[in-house]
C-alpha cells in the first residue's frame, strides 16, 4: 500500500532549469563559448560540480579545482538572484492541489532533490509546510542515479521504498528510484523517462488515487 510520496524539486515542482541555464550561460559567455538550451538538458538532475564539468567539456576548457569551485560559487550567486525573484505563481500547474490531496489523505510527503538550494526555493514558493521531510544536496553523499536521496527520504518518513512513489523529471532520478525499489512516475517525455511505471506531463488534472491505479 502506498503511504508516501517523494518529490524531486527542479522540473517537478517548479521549472528552475531556465534559471540554471541563464546562470551557467553567463559563465560560458565569460569563458567565450556557446552554451545552448539543448546543451542544458544534460545538466538536469546532475549535481552542481558535475554540471560544471559537463559545461567545461562542452566548451573544451580545463581549470584546476580551486578555479572550478570559484566558478560554481559565482554561478550559484547568479542563480540565487533569479530564485529570490520567484513567486508561488511559478509552482507548476496542479502541484498544489496534488499536495493538498495527499495531506487530506494522510499520505506522507518528502522532498528528494540534488539541489543545495532546495530549502531556499521551498521557502520562496511558500511550500515548506507541505513537506514532512526534506532531503537535499546538503545531506546526501551520492548523486542520482544512486538511490541514496530517496532511501533517506523514505527512512525519514518511516516508510519502506515499496510504500512510496517517487516523482522525477530526470532520467538519472528514475534510475535512482528503480534501484532503490520505489514505484516511480516520470514527469516529462516518455522518450526520456520510459523506465518509469507511468509518465505524465505534469500534475494538472491528475489525482493521487488515479496514479496509484496507473502504476499498479
Ligand atoms: C538538480 C537540478 O535538481 O539540482 C540540476 O536538476 C542542478 O540542474 C542540481 O545542477 C544542483 O542544484 P544546486 O541548486 O545545488 O546548484
Ligand atoms: Mg529534476
Does residue 48's CB lie within 6 angstroms of at least one atom of ligand 1? Answer: yes
Mean pLDDT of the 169-184 span: 96
Strand 108-112 and strand 183-187: pairing?
unpaired
Give the closest residue to 8 by CA, choosing from 204, 189, 176, 125.
176
* pLDDT band at 191; cut points 50, 70, 90: confident
15 annotated active-site? no
| Per-residue model confidence (pLDDT) at position 70 | 98
Mean pLDDT across 41-52: 93
Q: What is the pTM of this model?
A: 0.96
Band of the pLDDT at 155, cuts 50, 70, 90?
very high
pLDDT digits (tens, 9 = 90+) for 76-119: 999 999 999 999 999 999 999 999 999 999 999 999 999 999 99
Which ligand has the minimum distance to the alpha carbon of residue 13?
2
Domain span(s) for CATH 3.40.50.1000 in the chain: 4-14+89-215
> Where in the chain do CATH 1.10.150.240 domains reside?
17-83
52 lines ligand 1 (CB under 6 A): no
Q: Which three cell numbers stand for residue 134?
A: 526534506
CATH of domain 17-83: 1.10.150.240
User: What kind of fold does domain 4-14+89-215 have according to CATH?
Assistant: Rossmann fold (3.40.50)
Query: Bridge partners of 168?
Result: 186
Phi-psi region of 45 (alpha: psi -120 to 50; beta: other; left: phi over 0): left
Please report the pLDDT score of residue 37 as a whole number: 93
Q: Which atom of ligand 1 is nearest to the CA of 117?
A: 14
Residue of 15, 20, 169 best suited for mutating to test ligand 1, as the one with most atoms within 8 Å of CB: 20
Amino acid at each position: 500500500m502506498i503511504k508516501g510520496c517523494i518529490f524531486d524539486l527542479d522540473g517537478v515542482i517548479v521549472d528552475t532549469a531556465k534559471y540554471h541555464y541563464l546562470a551557467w550561460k553567463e559563465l560560458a559567455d565569460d569563458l567565450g563559448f556557446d552554451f545552448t538550451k539543448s546543451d542544458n538538458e544534460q545538466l538536469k538532475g546532475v549535481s552542481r560540480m558535475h554540471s560544471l564539468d559537463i559545461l567545461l567539456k562542452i566548451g573544451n576548457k580545463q581549470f584546476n579545482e580551486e578555479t572550478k569551485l570559484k566558478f560554481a560559487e559565482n554561478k550559484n550567486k547568479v542563480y540565487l538572484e533569479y530564485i529570490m525573484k520567484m513567486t508561488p505563481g511559478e509552482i507548476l500547474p496542479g502541484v498544489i492541489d496534488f499536495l493538498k490531496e495527499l495531506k487530506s489523505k494522510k499520505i506522507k510527503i518528502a522532498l528528494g532533490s540534488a539541489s543545495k538550494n532546495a530549502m531556499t526555493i521551498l521557502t520562496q514558493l511558500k511550500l515548506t509546510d507541505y513537506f514532512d521531510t526534506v532531503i537535499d544536496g546538503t545531506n546526501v553523499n551520492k548523486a542520482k542515479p544512486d538511490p541514496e536521496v530517496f532511501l533517506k527520504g523514505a527512512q525519514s518518513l518511516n516508510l519502506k521504498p515499496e510504500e512510496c512513489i517517487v516523482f522525477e523529471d530526470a532520467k538519472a532520478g528514475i534510475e535512482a528510484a528503480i534501484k532503490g525499489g520505489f514505484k516511480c512516475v516520470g514527469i516529462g517525455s516518455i522518450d526520456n523517462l520510459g523506465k518509469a511505471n507511468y509518465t505524465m506531463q505534469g500534475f494538472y488534472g491528475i489525482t493521487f488515487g488515479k496514479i496509484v491505479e496507473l502504476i499498479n
